[in-house]
Amino acid sequence: MATPEEQAAAMIANMAEKTGKSLEAWLEIAKASNLSKHGEIVKMLKSDHAMTHGFANLVAHHALRAAEVSSDDLVSAQYAGGKEALRPIYDTLEAYVKTLGKDVEIAPKKTSVSIRRNKQFALIQPASRTRVDLGINLKGTAPTDRLEAWGGMISHRVRLQSTADVDSELKAWLKDAYQRGVK
């Protein structure tokens, strides 16, 4: 059975044939409508353009996703307002986790960046004007002075104040968490 991503890709590939317009053309129609809610866009496409529910839902989903703030904008906003000096720490961490494997997903949110494989294994968060907190999921690993116990889905935290803190010990913890991320 096809995955949801494969099903969506097939619908997009067949959209022009089935609906008379490409996804890009439908996205322009959705944008021109100035509607901002998923259900409103679906309803408009079905009633005004006789689109089936499946295609209307797909177009609405893509239209709203295109309107979201970009990942780069989210990260830039996290390191603004006096936290600019911390950005090199984030950039160093991001560059390293990308070397761990092609399956690493970097998912910026409003206040943090989730690092995932099959599941989240790290979290990067500018905690103050002088520190970035790196959450690492290493359940079962004993805390140390540097690798502090932390709660929730992320078991440990390391406080980073400069790029020098992204050393071989920290990279080993990230690699361990990455490798555990497939279980």
The CA-based angle 13-17-18, given to 5 degrees, is 95
Pair of tokens at residue 171: 């990279």
Q: In what order do the strands lie in the sheet with 156-160?
A: 105-108, 113-116, 120-126, 132-136, 156-160, 148-149
pTM of the model: 0.64
Q: What is the pLDDT of residues 110-156, one digit of tens each?
A: 899 999 998 899 999 999 999 999 999 999 999 999 999 998 789 99
What tokens appear for 35 in the block? Answer: 């509607």
φ and ψ at residue 133, rounded to 5 degrees: -95, 130
Judged by DSSP in three states, 75 sits in: helix
pLDDT digits (tens, 9 = 90+) for 61-118: 888 876 665 677 889 999 999 999 999 999 999 999 999 999 999 988 889 999 999 8
